[in-house]
Amino acid sequence: MKLEHQYADVGEVRLHYVRAGDRAGRKILLIHGWPETWYAWRHVIDELAEADGIDVVAPDLRGLGDSSRPADGYDKWTIAADLFRLVQSLWPTQPVLVVGHDWGGVVAFDLAVQLGQQTAGLAVLDVTIPVEADDGVVDFSQGGRRWHHAFHQTPDLPEQLISGREREYYTWFYTHFAAERFAGLDAAVIAEYLRCYGSAAGTKPGLAYYRALPEDRRRHTELPRPTLQVPVLAIGGDSGAGRGLEPGLSLQGFADDVTSEVISNCGHWLMEEQPAAVTRLLEAFADLVHAGWTRHTGENLDTSQ
Catalytic residue among 17, 169, 209, 210: 210
CA distances from 13 to 70, 83, 126, 212, 247 (A): 7, 10, 27, 18, 29
Catalytic residue status for 186: no
Of 84, 92, 94, 70, which Cα lies nearest the Cα of 31? 84
At 52 the pLDDT is: 78
Contacts of 254 (CB under 8 A, 6+ apart): 109, 129, 223, 225, 226, 227, 228, 232
User: What is the band of 300 on the pLDDT scale with cuts at 50, 70, 90?
Assistant: very low
SS3 146: coil
At 303 the pLDDT is: 42
CATH domain 4-294 topology = Rossmann fold (3.40.50)
pLDDT digit string (tens) for 253-298? 999 999 999 999 999 999 999 999 999 999 999 999 977 765 544 4
pLDDT digit string (tens) for 87-121? 999 999 999 999 999 999 999 999 999 999 999 99
Helix axes 275-297, 42-50, angle to 10 degrees: 50
Contacts of 77 (CB under 8 A, 6+ apart): 110, 114, 215, 216, 219
CA 99/CA 97 separation, integer angstroms: 6
Catalytic residue status for 7: no
Catalytic residue among 102, 110, 126, 216: 102
CA distances from 210 to 74, 75, 102, 205 (A): 8, 9, 12, 9
At 134 the pLDDT is: 86
At 294 the pLDDT is: 58
Percent of the chain exceeding pLDDT 70 equals 95
CA 116/CA 70 separation, integer angstroms: 27
Q: What are phi and psi of 121, to 5 degrees?
A: -175, 165
Catalytic residue among 16, 101, 268, 290: 268
Domain spans in the chain, listed from the N-terminal domain onward:
4-294
Torsion of CA 149, 109, 215, 163, to 10 degrees: 40
- Mean per-residue pLDDT for 198-215? 98
CA 42/CA 211 separation, integer angstroms: 28
pLDDT at 301 over 60: no
pLDDT digit string (tens) for 220-239? 999 999 999 999 999 999 99
Catalytic residue status for 193: no
Sheet of 96-101, strands arranged across? 4-10, 13-21, 54-59, 26-31, 96-101, 119-125, 232-237, 258-263
